Amino acid sequence: MPHSLRIAVLASGRGSNLAALLAARDRGELAAQFVLVASDKAGAGALHLAGEAGIPTLALDPKAYPDRRAFDLALFAHLAASGAELIVLAGFMRILDGQALAPWAGRILNIHPSLLPKYRGLHTHRRALEAGDLEHGASVHFVTAELDGGPVIAQATLPIEPGEDEQRLAQRLLPLEHRLLPATVALIAQGRLGWRDGVPTFDGKPLAEPLRLGTHGLQPA
């Protein structure tokens, strides 16, 4: 029987990417056990979703801590105590402290709605449109202390349609995000995607280019 990867999820919003991960698990596409869903917002939809799914939840208020580092260290202490082997940021809207992240190098992922290294940070759809880009997409990357700057391991792309606005582009991208993140996590659960000496690996070899999401899942570029 394959190993079931123990995953903790951090989310600040409605939890649509969490829902996609849970759906992939339920379809048998992701061998995972979700051990904790944590948020910096007590009213986050992701916490409600996790509770309904029987997953332990945690809400921590950043204002209850003297600074960002203190909050992050407390949060990551809870994550470690959960027994998580992998942390997935699924719409977690905070920059994380490097000291808190250090023990999790190669074991923490984020999904970001742009084709990194383009458009780190916020308002990615608007920025892609304003730049006149012909394509847009989403990226999954290993998290480092640099905002949206860790090594990119998988991407999904879509063409930008003439005349579309920011909202429409975001709506079209979201279903690709919901395929991209579970597919990436599944490869980690299978032991195919990994991290060695600060470098992402795929099937035991350094990953030179991000994997690409196609009709049949993630494939080398």
* Residues contacting 192, CB < 8 A, separation 6+: 202, 203
Instruction: Please state, in angstroms and rounded to a whole number, the distance separating the CA atoms of residues 129 and 24.
Output: 31
Active site residues: 112
Task: Give the full edge-to-edge strand order of the sheet including 199-202.
Answer: 193-196, 199-202, 205-206
State the Cα–Cα distance between residues 11 and 18, nearest whole angstrom.
8
What are the tokens at 198?
């600060």
- The C-alpha atoms of residue 46 and residue 14 are separated, in whole angstroms, by 5
Scanning the chain, the segments in alpha helix (DSSP H) are: 16-26, 45-52, 68-81, 98-101, 124-130, 166-189
Structural element, H or E, at residue 140:
strand 135-142
